[in-house]
Amino acid sequence: DIQMTQSPSSLSASEGDTVTITCRASQDISNFLAWYQQKPGKVPHLLIFGASTLHSGVPPRFTGGGSGTDFTLTISGLQTEDVATYYCQKYDSAPYTFGPGTKLDI
Amino acid sequence: EVQLVESGGGLVKPGGSLRLSCAASGFTFNEYAMLWVRQAPGKGLEWVASISHRSSYLYYGDSVKGRFTISRDNAKNSLFLQMDALRAEDTAVYYCTRVRRDGYISDYWGQGTLVTVSS
């Protein structure tokens, strides 16, 4: 099975900063990569799919990139409401494995 | 408005069984595949199982294969997860999610139901 890794596992930044989270697949998954945000104590929700397509209602300060095995989630102009854990997930085929998550503090 | 409401969680002894349900509303249920995703306390997300819109394709994570069964009743707009031979490591919040039509991406999530496996 394809394994998903994320780096860093956690990071701290300041309001207004730009941060980038990396997700790596152990094999080529083309652009079948989604990103989810889970705020503390809340349900996860979809941010990005197709590696770079924003889900409806997601602010444009979130951008996704990459294809094949290496992907990025960039958050520009960080806001306090962005405090969350971010997960990537492959969906090219089952198993639809999630990455271990990246915890973002501000 | 899309709504997914899970039920059926609770405390169960190791080796026991539990059946989770997810009541769906606000969309045409029989047109969408569905997933179960779980999250152990303080841990990350784990995909558990998926079912296509007509139940033709069922897939399971390795950790639950042979013990859990996903099913759906399109007439009742309901998704189920039958969990047998439960283990302590199955303790988690279980989320029901709707899958987008263009790929197994969870675009709507329920609030989750907690399953605790303990003696």
Q: A48-88 pLDDT, tens per residue?
A: 999 999 999 999 999 999 999 999 999 999 999 999 999 99
Q: Are strands A102-105 and A10-12 parallel, antiparallel or unpaired?
A: parallel
Residues of A in contact with B44 (CB under 8 A): 85, 87, 98-101
In this prediction, residue B21 carries a pLDDT of: 98
Mean pLDDT on A21-34: 96
In the predicted model, what is the mean pLDDT of chain A? 96
In this prediction, residue B100 carries a pLDDT of: 92
B55 touches chain A (CB under 8 A): no
Contact B105 A98 (CB under 8 A): no
More confident residue, B67 or A94: B67
Percent pLDDT > 70 in chain A is: 100
The chain B residue lying nearest A54, using CA atoms, is B107
Q: Give me the residue from B46, B61, B107 closest to A46, CB to CB.
A: B107
Residue A50 region, left (φ>0) first, then alpha (ψ -120 to 50), else beta? left
C-alpha distances in Å from residue B119, one per residue of A93, B7, B87, B115: 36, 22, 10, 13
Percent pLDDT > 70 in chain B is: 100
| Nearest alpha-carbon partner for B87 in B58, B106, B66, B112 | B66
Mean pLDDT on B83-87: 98
β-sheet bridge partners, residue A87: A36
Give the Cα separation of B28 and B68 in Å (integer).
Answer: 26
Structure tokens at B49: 């199982």
Mean pLDDT on B88-103: 95
Cβ atoms of A11 and A75 within 8 Å: the answer is no
Looking at residue A38, the DSSP 8-state letter turns out to be: E
The chain B residue lying nearest A33, using CA atoms, is B105
In this prediction, residue B113 carries a pLDDT of: 97
Contact B47 A34 (CB under 8 A): no
Cβ atoms of B50 and B38 within 8 Å: the answer is no
β-sheet bridge partners, residue B19: B82
Residues of A in contact with B95 (CB under 8 A): 43-44
> What is the number of other CB atoms lying within 10 angstroms of the CB of residue A48?
24
B106 touches chain A (CB under 8 A): yes
Query: Best residue in A10, A21, A35, A43 to probe B by mutation, most B CBs within 10 Å?
Result: A43
Give the Cα separation of A56 and B107 in Å (integer).
Answer: 10
Cβ atoms of A61 and A77 within 8 Å: the answer is yes
Mean pLDDT on B1-22: 97
Asked whether the predicted pLDDT for residue A20 surpasses 90, the reply is yes
> What is the number of other CB atoms lying within 10 angstroms of the CB of residue A7?
13
Asked whether the predicted pLDDT for residue B102 surpasses 90, the reply is no
Residues of A in contact with B104 (CB under 8 A): 91, 94, 96
